[in-house]
Amino acid sequence: MPPIFVYVLCLMLWLFCAVFVWIVAGVMFLIRSTRSTSRSLCLAMAATFPFVFAYQIVAAPFVAGLLFLAWAFWKILDPGASATTQNPFISLVSIGIALTSLCTMLGMSLAGFYEGWRTGWACGKGLGFRDVLSEAPTLKLLLRLLQKSPLRRLARLAPH
């Protein structure tokens, strides 16, 4: 089964769940006492889409690099034109890198879903978008990592 099929299948499942949540939010909107929760629920589900895709785009270069390393490792140990191998070491490394790539994309997708849901829910409760993003745990972690990055130190040393 090709990976794109699994991705599209998961996307369709996600869309089905989103539509179900939006239907529930629509019914909740009809009841006066649950309107604010309905708005938050609707915005939370809608915000998951751009966040998940953004987190997947951030993870894509890392995953592509891993897959390139697996291909290069294969071609170094088995430099033929064949697409199959008898080498168990190549098989183990390829399976390990494929699982690492899958777990990376799944983890980033879940982190994006969490951040999107949290952001949409808070915006639905009346908080400003910038205020919500300034409190995002993954954004704080990213900024902390960028501050400790060797590239940042090199940029300060470079003449302007």
Q: Give a yes or no: residue 64 inside a domain.
A: yes
Q: Give a yes or no: residue 29 inside a domain.
A: no
Q: Give a yes or no: residue 78 inside a domain.
A: yes
Tell me, what's the pLDDT at 51? 92
Q: Give a yes or no: residue 80 inside a domain.
A: yes
pTM, rounded to two decimals:
0.78
Q: Give a yes or no: residue 27 inside a domain.
A: no
Q: Give the structural domain span for 54.
A: 49-157
Q: Give a yes or no: residue 16 inside a domain.
A: no
59 and 104 Cβ atoms separated by less than 8 Å: yes
Task: Say how many domains are in the chain.
Answer: 1
- Provide the residue-wise pLDDT of the chain in tens; the chain has 160 residues: 677 888 899 899 999 999 999 999 999 999 999 988 999 999 999 999 999 999 999 889 999 999 999 888 888 887 777 777 777 888 888 889 989 998 999 999 999 999 999 999 998 888 888 888 878 887 777 677 767 766 555 556 555 5
Q: Give a yes or no: residue 41 inside a domain.
A: no
Q: Give a yes or no: residue 38 inside a domain.
A: no
DSSP assignment letter at 125: T
